Chains A and B, each alone.
Chain A
Amino acid sequence: MTLPALDPLLHQPARTQLVAYLSARGETTFSELKRVLGVTDGNLGAHLSKLVEAGYVATSEMEHGRRSQTAYTLTPAGRIALNEYVARLSALMTLSVDGEVAGDASFPTDGHPVS
Chain B
Amino acid sequence: MSPDDRLQDIRSMLAAGHRCVHLERSTLLLLGGVGGFLSVVTEWVITDTRFPDLGTRGMALLIWLAFWLGGVSLLEHRLTRRARERRAETLPFAQAQVTRAWWMLLSVGCLGSFAMFFYGGGSMIYTLWTVLLGLGVYFFGLFSRPLIEWIGLAIILLGVAALAAGLPYGGTRWLAASAFALGLPLAGWLNSRVGDAGMHQRTLALGLWLVLVVTPALLMARSNHTPPPAAPPLALGAQALGSGEQVLRLEVGTPIPLRLDLDSLFLQAPSHAELAMTLAMPVEVALSDGNPDGRYRFGDGQWRDIRDGLLQLRIDRLRGRLEDGRPVVRAHARLDSQDFTGGDQ
Contacts and interface: CB of A to CB of B under 8 A. Distances in A.
Nearest to A32: B89
Contacts of A22: 17
Main secondary structure of the interface of A (DSSP, over half): helix
Main secondary structure of the interface of B (DSSP, over half): helix
A57 interface: no
Contacts of B4: 93, 96
B2 interface: yes
Contacts of B87: 31-32, 35
A73 to B, nearest CB: 10
Contacts of A101: 3
Contact of A17 (B2, B13, B18): B13
A24 B17 contact: yes
Interface in B157-193: none
Contacts of A49: none
A35 to B, nearest CB: 8
Interface in B1-52: 1-4, 6-7, 9-10, 13-18, 20
B70 interface: no
B335 interface: no
A112 interface: no
A65 interface: yes
B90 interface: yes
B15 A90 contact: no
Given A13-B9, A24-B17, A24-B18, 9 more contacts: A13-B1, A17-B9, A24-B13, A29-B88, A36-B13, A67-B88, A82-B10, A93-B7, A96-B3
Interface of A: 13, 16-18, 20-32, 35-36, 62, 64-65, 67, 69, 71, 82, 86, 89-90, 92-93, 96, 101, 103-104, 107
